[in-house]
Chains A and B, each alone.
Chain A
Amino acid sequence: MRSRNLYALLVIAIVVMASMVVVLRGKIDQTTILNASNLNSLESSYYVRLNNTIWQDPLNDPSQWHVSSSQSNITSRLSSDGELHLNASIAPESYPQAVNLFRSVNFSIAQDPVLLISLEASVGIHYGIRIAGQDSSGNPFQAWSESSYLQHRSGLGHKENFTVNAAVEAYKVNGIFPAAGSSITSLQFYIEATAGQIGQFALDVYRIAVVSPNQYAFDSASQVLRSMDGIALTLNATNDLDYTDSNFAQGYIDYYVKGTQDLVYTVYFMHGLTVIGQGYDYSANSLTYNIATFSASNIRSYPPFLTGNNTFSIILSPSKGSFLSFQLGGFSVRYLSQAPLISTPTNIDPGIILAYYLTFLFVTPVAIVILVSRLFAHETNQAS
């Protein structure tokens, strides 16, 4: 009888709670969450193609290039025939050695220049690419840093393709984008040998082109079949709660996508020129449905093309390969009154709370278990 009452009570409780779910749905004031989702929140969608060539080095005039070595006992030779060939003979030394290949260039940052570079470095050697420029007053700035993925790379012995946005590289180093009127003025390659390394090494440059990204609008609800170097979705979310970027909690986007065999891409969530969320790396060489999630804790890079100021956008950007087809399923961008913290707090004095935590989690349960084991030792004896 008692257990029947218990079941009845359980059923009544579930029915009451379920009624509350139905009645209270959407009835609470919206104070602690903000959500931008569905296609009504989509302002525009466009894909990017890197097909507007501003400048291209024909790679047939070695006099444009300057070769220098860190040591006089390195012999190097530069030749060009529509491709640039740098060969270096490195004698063993107790310190690292390098050969630099440099040329002057001049293209305005206002064109959002993206460098497309194809090269091949010998196996065993390390190499890198460095870009520098100057502002309208002639003050120089670097667009590379030692920790960049473009530095101290291992030669693979096969062709590699790079897409490098000069303004983004400068931003990564300096924390600000180059001022209007700035230009890129130098391009440098180098190969470097570690201490004691010996042998003949080569760096072959097959292509250097500077392109400006072109944007093409498309209808995100239907499938677009094109070669695409990036996809951007601009949002028109209203922010009644005055939330800032630090309130961004997580976002989702689902879509059908297909790309080239080597396609590797990630998803960014941008506010103007700031990345406020990023997803994982994905590949899709056949038509695939994917649901990508992005959050602030996953930010690790910057997209290679820029979006407009003060707009919110979701960007799908390849680090390798390109997209061949895309169709948006949906998205949701969520802000919380307190989003997960990604910076380190300084005003924490955890002494008492830590003691409380460890006492409740470990000390008290273990002490009670020891007590119960002692008091009920006969249970153990019976069993054994």
Chain B
Amino acid sequence: MKLTKPASSVLLSGLAIRLGLAPLTGHPGDMALFVTSQRLFFQTGTVDLKYFPTLPAVYYIQLLFYAPYQLLRLSGMPDFQYYYHTTLMIEGVFLKLPSILCDVGIYLVLLSYTRKLIPATLFFLNPLPICLSSVWGTYDSMMLFPLLLGLYFFATHNNRTPSSLTFVLSGLLKLFGFVTYVLVICESIIHRRFRGELPLEILGGLGITVAILFPVLLFGGFQSFLQVIVYRFIGLSSGTGGTHYGLLGEVFNINPSGILPTIPVAVALTCIGFSYESSRAKGLPSLLLVKWTLVAALVFNLFSASEPQWLLWLVPMGILYGSLTGRIGLQYFAYLFGTFATFLTITLLQGTAYMLIGSSTAFILEYIESVPGSVFLYAVMTTTMILMFCGYSFSKKLKSFRLEVVPLTVLLYLQAYFWIVIIGVGRILGVS
């Protein structure tokens, strides 16, 4: 693929924005977890697979990118402490680099898949991926890149097995990636590929998973891996104890005690829906896979104990589905959604000072940050926008985008702010 001048300009702009933000910002809590594991490895030789707080594949990738930083430090490169961040400035950039490069990868995949500049630009210059990869320092882009790459291979190379294994890689970086893999397996079963691709898909997937997880077993972290990552993700354990019940739980004040296995139910329903549609289709149109991965992302965000960074999954999937189906409205709404989700997350859940200067108790924009019912306001607004996302994804009447949606969304926020923050309706109704 050859990049045109406009595509190169967008790529350079997006990279410059990310690299401009990365050294000065960071999520102090998450970055502390990552940098601790890296410093332990390079300064004490400790392989931190037992207590690393997320999937081991993320640890391996961070090791690869952190090693050149250590080499530069050994060769005398200075690094600086900025405000109250838990990493040094350049150190933070190296920790965020895998996610930033995966953003670039997603941009190139969208460019190749859709053969249009606008969809790829709507992702790459979307404030949500910029914020998550270069400001926060989280790794959702690392999962989305192989996921989209697999979908691209599926659509263009017509070779199922390598694509399925790319989905497994995606799942080993964040478990959501396994959903698309499960959909492919379902499709293989429905179309009775028992002697063809199915054994390769299953054995290949198992092989990669075992290879990635074996070191965890070796360093005695397999039980904590199951407890903290797997059981918690599928809702069968409170994991580290910080259980929460997602957007609808916050909106309706549902806080059931004990386990809440919404994710297995969500996956099962998605598989059933996909299988039904797939059984009626000839072969496996890649569009079907894109559509049902998007459905799964919507369901996960709405019905499970979702986290704000999960909202990113909707953006490239929505843009891709919109581009493949001619839904201009969905592509532009995905951009608006990402922009608003970023605004809501950094103001209502963390405060701008948290990722900017590293303080969770200082509020720079007090009127929109340190407000009563902030989590309720976030949940109401995000749920409303996800429902609008559903409308743009599947309603026949919402194929085009009208600019009026932008002021409408702002008005929705102002209305919600008035009723929830000023009047205190959540407190009156006893839901916040």
Contact = CB atoms under 8 A, between A and B. Distances in A.
- Tell me the dominant secondary structure on chain A's binding face: mixed
A340 B26 CA distance: 11
Contacts of A18: 64
Interface of A: 14, 17-18, 20-21, 24-33, 35, 37, 249-250, 252, 254, 279-282, 289-293, 297, 329-330, 332, 334, 336-345, 348, 350, 353-354, 356-357, 360-362, 364-366, 368-369, 372-373, 375-376, 379-380, 383-384
Contacts of B236: none
B228 A249 contact: no
Contacts of B86: 249, 336, 338-340
B44 A35 contact: yes
13 contacts: A20-B67, A20-B68, A21-B67, A26-B44, A26-B46, A35-B40, A293-B240, A336-B39, A339-B32, A345-B84, A348-B362, A350-B353, A365-B14
B191 interface: no
B67 A17 contact: yes
Given A280-B242, A338-B85, A340-B29, A366 B24 contact: no
B415 interface: no
Contacts of A35: 40, 44, 46
Summarize B's interface: helix, strand, loop or mixed. Answer: helix
Interface string B224-242: 1001100000000010111
Nearest to A335: B36
Contacts of A366: 125, 127, 339
Interface of B: 6, 10, 13-14, 17, 20-21, 24-25, 28-29, 32-33, 35-36, 39-46, 50-51, 53, 63-65, 67-68, 70-71, 73-74, 81, 83-86, 116-118, 121-122, 125-127, 130-131, 135, 220, 223-224, 227-228, 238, 240-242, 323, 326, 328, 335, 339, 342-343, 352-353, 356-362, 364, 399-400
A20 B71 contact: yes
Contacts of A375: 6
Central interface residue in B127, B131, B227, B360, by most chain A CB within 10 Å:
B127
Please give me the 10 A-B residue pairs with the lowest Cβ-Cβ distance, nearest first: A26-B45, A280-B241, A20-B67, A365-B125, A33-B39, A344-B361, A341-B84, A17-B64, A291-B224, A30-B43
Given A24-B42, A329-B223, 9 more contacts: A26-B46, A35-B46, A249-B36, A293-B53, A338-B85, A354-B364, A357-B21, A360-B17, A362-B339
B64 A365 contact: no
A289 B237 CA distance: 11
A380 B118 contact: yes
B13 A368 contact: yes
Contacts of A249: 32, 36, 86
Contact of B361 (A26, A336, A342, A350): A342
Nearest to A382: B116
B10 A368 contact: yes
B337 to A, nearest CB: 13
